Structure 1
Amino acid sequence: MSSALSALTDLFPQPIVQAPMAGGPSGPRLAAAVSEAGGLGFLAAGYKTADGMYQEIKQVRGLTGRPFGVNVFLPQPEHAESGAVDLYAQQLAGEAAWYRTELGEPDHGRDDGYEIKVAALVDDPVPVVSFHFGVPAREVVDALHRVGTFALVTATTVEEALAVERAGADAVIAQGVEAGGHQGTHRDLPENDGAGIGVLTLVALIREAVDLPVVAAGGIMRGGQIAAVLAAGASAAQLGTAFLATPESGAHALHKAALTDPLHPHTELTRAFSGRPARGLVNRFLREHGPYAPAAYPEVHHLTAPLRKAAAEAGDPQGMALWAGQGHRMARDLPAGRLVEVLAEELEAATAALPGRRTGGAR
């Protein structure tokens, strides 16, 4: 593992990875700023077309010469019951009337342009590609390796991490239950709702099970927390919510403000907005519809898309998907590059306080 680890972490001086947050937050400005500051910036290709992804890659290259990554969603199997989706649509009819919009078409598509995006990333390589919602085929990983791209895959359990290792990936992203946004489970099983593992425990479990570098993700907002996951065996930490409030983030202004608003004191995992478990700030929509949302991704995501857009346009955070990790109250309104610097300073101070620990960047 040592050679693979050093090759990967040599890409970014600081052990800080900016999480790819789909839906707008993780755009070219944010990715470039993080990479320029010594972290690993990421673009989120989820919910974008392949051409949209390519255009953003070009923008990042125009802003920085540092390495960066692109995140891709795996296609989802057809398992949702149409009756359950239809029933949920009936429940949301009042929301559509309130926001003066129509519900979206549930059957809008479920592969997120995966094959086209992978082909584009092989044809015009980027330094790192990560995968969410499953494990890419070994042939995909091999194709990326042939063009010099590192492949990272999210796992939420030891079993998923073992599948990542079998696929030949270069590192596993250990996503703890504290993480904001969608849980990257490989199979969406409703019976597992609420059974997530905390990031520190998950990192330790995965480190003992697989011979791969581990990137820890989930609720990490301070350099001291980065020191903790490194001490637990991670090679780097992935932070999403911490970068959500930065000026370079493409998140809606209402979303940014809600992170530290006393009206939103905590988060919950919910299927209300997308049909898949995702952690967000508790608001009216989540409270009223979360208990009844079916396990149907991406059908529910497509169904609620117009509602979420209309709520944002109306300036109503109570109808928006306010994705956030458990540490959201610690969000800091700093430029992304400065935030990387502050996190690195906090990490160095925390590491120096540990007997026998060396300070510095990625290990």
Structure 2
Amino acid sequence: MFTLAELTAPIIAAPMAGGASTPELVAAVNAAGGLGYLAAGYRTAAAMTEQIAAARKLTDRPFGVNLFVPGSTDPAALAEVAGYREALRPEAEQLGVALPEQIAADDEDWDAKIAALLMDPVPVVSYSFGLPTAAEAAALRRAGTTQVATVTSAAEARAAARLGMDALCVQGPEAGGHRGTHSAAAEPGTEPLLALLGSVRAAVDLPLIGAGGLGDGARIAAALAAGADAVQLGTAYLLAEEAGTSAPHRAALTDPAFTETALTRAFTGRVARGLRNRFIDRHADRAPVAYPEVHHLTAPLRAAAARAGDLQSMHLWAGTSYRAARAAAAGEITERLSREARSAGAS
């Protein structure tokens, strides 16, 4: 089974659902001594297996697949989705799209994904938004897959350890995109990553991966010194040549008009961090705690905004260190950050 000790660079490219993570990005990070992840979130099991096959053609090194663990939404929150739809309707009409009146249940094709990963195992599987069942975890363990749970608190870390996870990705509030809380309704903690690593290290005896706001070598070195065995970076790779980041998103990351990030449920119903824009400001207090229902509700609006290059209506996921992101080949980014971290750790 894969262990973090096999990495020659203690850097993992975070799984970024929605297209940013690609087989090419995985292969490039792997070639530089790190670990690349494919993002299975928002994909069918068939699409996931296609990406796995593509990655295997590009790299012979271990790589990971990240799964979104499906959850359930409180009926009271579901009842608020219709009101949010009405609040969003003027913007949708301005962009020339219709918002869905009915939203079908979405289990992330979970059972089919687990079955596919048991039939044709990959070296690493990580989980966001929760944990698998004990039976699923045991089956993947027997298949030889290393399993990593995303946690945002010591309590979540203890639950993951009891289930037999092999490592934990400790995600701090500085991270871009969705917080990986095990409940969509939970309000994520505010303990900074470095302190959170200490809390989790005191709670469990497992290898830890630090994630959140680690955009340069000094921050990476600090996370490693705080107890992380490796770090996971997402925003740092959004401008990579091999990333599937959209052109508008790339432009926003270097646009001086965007001066800060913000946490919001406005786009998906789950707390996520992105570049602060007018959509976040208008709807920060309106979005119900309904995931993935709000995600599906706003999907046509977000897609239309991206096509139009409307940066004020898009979800522009980014961590707090987004200004440190550089446009370059992913291998070059990995090597540079690893070199900077070694230098900072030695000083």
TM-score range normalised by the length of the shorter chain = over 0.9
Instruction: State yes or no: 1:202 paired with 2:200.
Output: no
TM-score where L is the length of structure 2: 0.97
Partner of 1:155: 151
CA deviations on 1:275-331 (whole Å, 9 max, x unpaired) are: 010001011111111211110000000000000000011111111110000000111
Aligned equivalents of 1:110, 1:153: Cα separation in 2: 21
Shift of 1:196: 2.4
- What is the one-letter code of the residue matched to 2:193? V
SS of 2:157's equivalent in the other structure is helix
Aligned equivalents of 2:120, 2:191: Cα separation in 1: 36
Partner of 2:262: 268
1:28 to 23, 30, 36: 23
CA deviations on 1:72-118 (whole Å, 9 max, x unpaired) are: 00011131433210000000110110110111355233311111111
Alpha carbons 2:209, 2:232 under 8 Å: kept: yes
TM alignment of 1:114-263, pairs within 5 A: 114-189=110-185, 192=187, 195-263=189-257
2:307 to 282, 307, 313: 313
TM-score where L is the length of structure 1: 0.93
Aligned equivalents of 1:124, 1:146: Cα separation in 2: 12
CA deviations on 1:172-204 (whole Å, 9 max, x unpaired) are: 1100000000000012335x35x4221101101
Aligned equivalents of 2:68, 2:324: Cα separation in 1: 28
Aligned equivalents of 1:327, 1:112: Cα separation in 2: 30
CA deviations on 1:319-350 (whole Å, 9 max, x unpaired) are: 11100000001111111000011011101111
Aligned equivalents of 1:72, 1:201: Cα separation in 2: 26
- What is the one-letter code of the residue matched to 1:128? V
TM alignment of 1:39-58, pairs within 5 A: 39-58=34-53
Instruction: State yes or no: 1:290 paired with 2:284.
Output: yes
Aligned equivalents of 2:73, 2:83: Cα separation in 1: 18
Aligned equivalents of 1:271, 1:284: Cα separation in 2: 14
Aligned equivalents of 1:106, 1:285: Cα separation in 2: 23
Aligned equivalents of 1:237, 1:136: Cα separation in 2: 23
> What 5-or-longer segments of structure 2 have no aligned partner?
none
Aligned equivalents of 2:30, 2:102: Cα separation in 1: 37
Aligned equivalents of 1:10, 1:106: Cα separation in 2: 48
Moved segments of 4+, more than 6 Å: none
Q: Once the two structures are aligned, what percentage of the paired residues are identical?
A: 51
Alpha carbons 2:258, 2:275 under 8 Å: kept: yes
Partner of 1:101: 97
CA deviations on 1:8-65 (whole Å, 9 max, x unpaired) are: 1134221101100101101111111111111000000000010100000011001111
Instruction: State yes or no: 1:13 paired with 2:24.
Output: no
Gap change, CA 1:105 and 1:215, over 3 Å in 2: farther
SS of 1:234's equivalent in the other structure is coil
> What 5-or-longer segments of structure 1 have no aligned partner?
354-363
- What is the one-letter code of the residue matched to 2:8? P
Partner of 1:360: none
- What is the one-letter code of the residue matched to 2:272? A
2:109 to 110, 113, 131: 113
Shift of 1:256: 1.2
Aligned equivalents of 2:102, 2:259: Cα separation in 1: 32
Alpha carbons 1:176, 1:217 under 8 Å: kept: yes
Aligned equivalents of 2:10, 2:28: Cα separation in 1: 15
SS of 2:174's equivalent in the other structure is coil
Gap change, CA 1:159 and 1:106, over 3 Å in 2: farther
- Superposed CA RMSD in Å reads 1.3
SS of 2:37's equivalent in the other structure is strand
Alpha carbons 1:105, 1:302 under 8 Å: kept: no
Partner of 1:359: none
Aligned equivalents of 1:104, 1:62: Cα separation in 2: 38
Q: How many residues align?
A: 346
- What is the one-letter code of the residue matched to 1:323? W
Partner of 2:58: 63
Partner of 1:358: none
- What is the one-letter code of the residue matched to 1:157? S
